Structure 1
Amino acid sequence: MDNVLLISLGYLFGISLLLIFNEVNYRWFKIKGEYSRKIAHVLATLATLPFPFLFSSHWYVFFLAALFFVVLWSSQRIRQLNSIHDIARNSYGSYLLPLAIYFTFLGYTFSGDPVMYILPITILAICDPVAALAGMSVKKYNRTLSLPGIPTKKTVVGSFAFLCASAILSLIILNWWSEWTLNKMVLMSINIAIVSTLAELLSWRGSDNLTIPLSVQLTVWILI
């Protein structure tokens, strides 16, 4: 228990240091809030990938998630941590991220299979920023997607980038962690890519930080 407690404190210190470092870079180098936010998203989320091998109880992850939820929620209210919150849209994504990590870890504990955590969190860490950056960077021939009765701010390029990245990452991770046949891994990867892209497309105000990993985890549960 002492070692696990030290690991928890190490994560607390490390992610806090990451937020401080990100804030310093945002202020000194005048990095746009959208980009500094994505940097923190990728690094902090990827840093949690070892959780299944470090924590035997979800309560340690709950403690970390609750603490960072409070920090991120309160900092938005008092207009601090602008490297995270300085964006031209309303979003709850920053403080939904710790909740997403906790609930994904909680889901993993019911199966004990690390892929149930590693796959959803990797897709969240990589594909969401890839979609956002692709959508913002490519202007020519790009357009906003719209669904019947559901207005979205997602773009064709962004959603296509998400779909491709999700399929590739799924295939790589399933090939590494599972003993399934190639046909099953390809079919699983395609389904995961479609479901997670739809979750990203239909989410609003940053709720995709929660819907993406949970939809991936649910898809794996159903198809496994």
Structure 2
Amino acid sequence: MLLLGDIAPSLALSIQVGAVVVWLGFVFSLSAILRQFGNNSELVRKVVHIGTGNVLLIAWGLQIPLWLCLIAGGLFSAIAYLSYYTNILPMLNGVGRKTHGVFYYAVSITLLVALFWRIDLPQFAVVGVMVMSWGDGVAALVGQRWGKHSYSCLGNKRTLEGSLAMLGVSYLIVVLVLSLANGWLGGGSELFHSSSHHWLIALPVAAIATLFEAFSPGGTDNLTVPLSSALLCYTLNSGLTPF
């Protein structure tokens, strides 16, 4: 983990904010370029979806404090809510549907930060958000490009190929984040030292995330998937390791 405690607080804060701003600038610039060259709106939206989710990984790595994360989360939530009614950020809008999904996404990030940053276990917030951002993002793109076997759950149209992609990506995300946490918290050289239980925890977490992604109606998967996967991961991990 990048430690900023040995430098001036004002400089540390500048580095933290600057890193997030640069990353978000890159994400939105890339989405604008993709739109300019006529790429389909689902691809553009998922680039933003995945890219914004990675901000929490940056916040974890740079040890951005809780208060700053909450301010950013509140601002993101407000913008996301307004984007439902106005055209603030057109790349956030869904494809062929109008839901509060982006708002739920912002709220879930804020809630997870408030919960897990406070108890100094940010890796579980990162698990929830990245399972949603990468798992759901890849699932949508795979389903759109290669989906051949479709099914419907509570009005949601899904494909078997997309759901399998969600399961696989979510599984890998959980393993990688928990392994990184083990390495950062255990001294770096122990990156995969005691990670055998990570492979066991990852399966039920990925499965529940995939089920919620399939069954949650009206964009609520952006709330149910990150919260359920983070809380389940925390519960299972707490039962297997002495956090």
Residue 73 of structure 1 aligns to which amino acid in structure 2?
Y
Q: Which moved more, 1:194-203 or 1:70-79?
A: 70-79
SS at match of 1:102: helix
By how many angstroms is 1:193 displaced?
Answer: 1.0
Question: Does structure 2 conserve the Cα–Cα contact (< 8 Å) formed by 1:52 and 1:105?
Answer: no
Moved more, 32-41 or 111-120: 111-120
Which residue does 1:219 correspond to in 2? Answer: 232
Shift of the alpha carbon at 1:23? Answer: 5.6
Alignment of 1:99-178 (within 5 A): 99-140=107-148, 142-146=149-153, 150-178=154-182
Secondary structure at the counterpart of residue 97 of structure 2: coil
Q: TM-score, normalised by structure 2?
A: 0.77
AA in 1 matched with 2:66: H
Question: Aligned partners of 1:213 and 1:112: how far apart in 2?
Answer: 18
Q: Per the alignment, do residues 176 and 17 of structure 1 end up closer, same or farther by CA in structure 2, a change over 3 Å counting?
A: closer
Separation in 2, partners of 1:8, 1:220: 27
In structure 1, what is the Cα distance between the partners aligned to 2:234 and 2:28?
37
Distance 1:28 1:124, change over 3 A: same
Assess, with a 3 A threshold, how the Cα gap between structure 1 residues 56 and 164 changes in structure 2: closer, same or farther: closer
**Residues of 2 paired with 1:200 and 1:5: CA distance?**
36
Q: Distance in 2 between matches of 1:96 and 1:12?
A: 21
Q: TM-score, normalised by structure 1?
A: 0.83
Q: Is the 8 A contact 1:145 1:152 kept in 2?
A: yes
Deviates more, 1:107-116 or 1:172-181: 172-181
Q: Aligned AA for 1:174?
A: L
1:89 to partner: Cα distance? 1.0
Could you list the runs of 5+ residues in structure 1 that have no partner in the other structure? none
| Cα shift at 1:114 | 3.6
Q: Which amino acid aligns with 1:166?
A: S
The one-letter amino acid of 1:43's match is: G
Look up the match of 2:222: 209
Amino acid at match of 2:201: M
User: Which residue type is aligned with residue 167 of structure 1?
Assistant: Y
* Paired position in structure 2 for 1:200: 213
* Amino acid in structure 2 at the alignment position of 1:177: A
SS at match of 2:117: helix
RMSD: 2.6
- Alpha-carbon offset, residue 18 of structure 1: 4.4
Closer/same/farther in 2, CA of residues 19 and 71 from structure 1, 3 Å limit: farther
Give the direction of change, closer, same or farther, for the CA distance of 1:129–1:56 in structure 2 (3 Å limit). Answer: closer
Residue by residue over 1:187-222, the C-alpha shift from the partner in whole angstroms, topping out at 9 and shown as x without a partner, is 211111111111212222222222222111111222
Q: For the structure 1 residues 13 and 115, does the alpha-carbon distance in structure 2 shift closer, same or farther, using more than 3 Å as the test?
A: closer
Tell me, in whole angstroms, the C-alpha distance in 1 between the residues paired with 2:12 and 2:81: 26
Cα distance in 2 for residues equivalent to 1:107 and 1:209? 17
Give per-residue Cα distances to partners, 1:27-71, cap 9 Å, x unaligned.
421222211110111112113212234456422112111212222
1:33 matched to 2:37? The reply is no
Q: 1:49 aligns with which of 57, 76, 79?
A: 57
d(CA) in 2 for partners of 1:125 and 1:144? 22
Alignment partner for residue 102 of structure 2, among 86, 89, 94?
A: 94
Q: Secondary structure at the match of 2:57?
A: coil
- Count of aligned residue pairs for this structure pair: 219
Contact 2:142 2:161 (C-alpha < 8 Å) held by counterparts: yes
